[in-house]
Amino acid sequence: MGFLEGSCLNTEEPPNSSTSDALSTATFRAKDQYFEHHYERKMKAFLSKMFWQFGLTCFVPNESDETSKGSTKKNADLEHNKAWLLAESGGCGGAELTNADPQSVHSSFRFSLCSQVELESMNMNSSATVLMVNLDNGLNETRAKELKWRRIQSLERSISPVANSLVRFSYSEILAATNNFSKGRVLGRGALSFVFRGKVGFLRTAVAIKRLDKEDKEASKAFCRELMIASSLYHSNIVPLVGFCIDPDEGLFLVYRYVSGGSLERHLHDKKKGKGGVKGSSGLPWSVRYKVALGIAQAIAYLHNGTERCVVHRDIKPSNILLSSKKVPKLCDFGLATWTSAPSVPFLCKTVKGTFGYLAPEYFQHGKISDKTDVYAFGVVLLELISGRKPIEARKPLGEENLVLWQGHSY
């Protein structure tokens, strides 16, 4: 990018000697290099300023434009969303560069903005320089951040009635408690969550931290529902909710009290010692099994009739029943729990969720949920306590694979 001949250099010969001519020529060359370097830097600064200060405002549509274009097809929107910057020498139909003022960069170059479709329809000369600026990702990221903050604000408003009764943990505290979510701290996992063992507070209280999948679009609703239900439950056979953590970037966390005795599933079905020294079925005497059955029955009765609104757990199974060091059973994991208008009044659910083998027929086949959904699942757990078998065992002989059907045929 140079200057036009005769603009800055004086071609008239001065009336001096040859030594003076050589000195003058060197001086003019130095000036020419200086001006070239100076205006090159000026041009770069101008381009940078235009990109960052004016670029986005040229592409962000106003509300009226968005409304008027709401019926256009997605493919056309994607094509027009790609912004193009044309730096034209002389422009399209404008004055040529040779007629421009060499002292002004603005008059030497013409900038215009258009879409890819408009660019292809233009007839440009070979001197045009095309720079592509794709603002699609930037706008999407901005909108995504806005939506994320709106969800967080909506979530905060939803849990505000009970938030003050719980401990609010920071993400740094969650990170420290789980040793940066170490694999050795994993207690279990669900379809869209992980549970980690950790210690929090000055007294290093043992807790179980449930981390919801931050990529799940329904995580906020599931978090709010579980927090609202679990925070309202106070029973000796239900694991209490201690607190929560909401981080816009890292996701949602629920903090429960840690139960050290392991799950009923490990006691029933693990023949070898597991984590924490939990033995197999031989280490669970009948007196403890009776104690477990009685305690979980009391917890279910409390959920259905002992709260202001009937709560249906929807996922009662041995892995969601924990035993304390004194073998006191405690029901946990209210991720699928829901409220019903009244006990024994079913309502329809669009999506059937739960664990195969514990689903009531009316729920599995027709999506009907009521307190009987939990009663059926508890009946399967009772059969497991008595028989030591799992609800579904494919290796069993024909007709004995399903525990419920097999017990029904036996009697």
What positions carry a catalytic annotation? 315
**Backbone conformation region of residue 229, classed left if phi is above 0, alpha if psi is from -120 to 50, else beta:** alpha
Which DSSP letter does residue 333 get?
-
The pair of structure tokens assigned to 391 is 């609800």
The pair of structure tokens assigned to 16 is 């001096």
In 126-135, which positions are buried (b, 16+ CB within 10 angstroms) versus exposed (e)?
eebeeeeeeb
CA 262/CA 259 separation, integer angstroms: 7
> Could you tell me the sign of the dihedral formed by the alpha carbons of 359, 363, 364, 365, in that order?
positive
* Sheet with strand 241-247: strands edge to edge: 167-168, 241-247, 251-257, 205-212, 193-200, 186-189
The pairs formed by 215-221 with CB atoms below 8 angstroms and a separation of 24 or more are: 216/192, 219/192, 219/251, 219/252, 220/151, 220/154, 220/155, 220/252
- Beta bridge mates, 338: 312
Which DSSP letter does residue 52 get?
I
Q: Which one-letter amino acid corresponds to residue 400? A: E
Residue pair 269/282 in contact (Cβ under 8 Å)? The answer is no
Query: What residues contact residue 403 under an 8 Å CB cut-off, 6+ apart?
Result: 357, 380, 383, 384, 387, 389, 390, 391, 392, 393
Longest dimension (CA), the chain: 128
Which H/E stretch holds residue 319? none
Assign 141 to helix, strand or coil. helix
